[in-house]
C-alpha cells in the first residue's frame, strides 16, 4: 500500500486522495474494497509504529555500548 510522508504527521495516500477527489469512484471501486484497503493500511501503520519503537530501543542500546 503506497503512502508518502509529507511533513510532520501528514501522510498522503493515493487511495484516500482518489476517494475524496473523484465523485463517481463508487462506480469503479466498491465500498468493501475501500474498507479493506483502509483496514490493511491501519494494520501496516500499527506494525510500523511497533517496529519503530523496537528499533529506537535497540539503537539507543547500541549507542550506549559503543565507546
- pLDDT tens for 5-54 read 889 888 888 888 888 888 887 788 888 888 898 898 889 888 988 898 88
| 5 beta partners | 11
* C-alpha cell, 20: 475524496
| Lookup result for grid cell 493515493 | 14
The model's pTM is 0.61
Considering only CA atoms, which of 37, 45, 1 is closest in space to residue 19?
Answer: 37
Q: Round to whole Å and give the CA distance between 40 and 31.
A: 14
Residue 41 CB partners (closer than 8 Å, separation 6+): 1, 3, 13, 15
Amino acid at each position: 500500500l503506497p503512502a508518502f510522508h509529507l511533513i510532520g504527521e501528514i501522510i498522503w495516500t493515493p487511495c484516500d486522495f482518489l476517494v475524496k477527489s473523484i465523485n463517481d469512484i463508487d462506480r469503479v471501486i466498491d465500498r468493501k474494497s475501500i474498507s479493506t484497503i483502509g483496514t490493511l493500511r491501519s494494520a501496516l501503520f500499527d506494525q510500523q509504529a511497533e517496529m519503530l519503537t523496537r528499533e529506537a530501543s535497540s539503537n539507543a542500546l547500541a549507542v550506549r555500548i559503543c565507546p
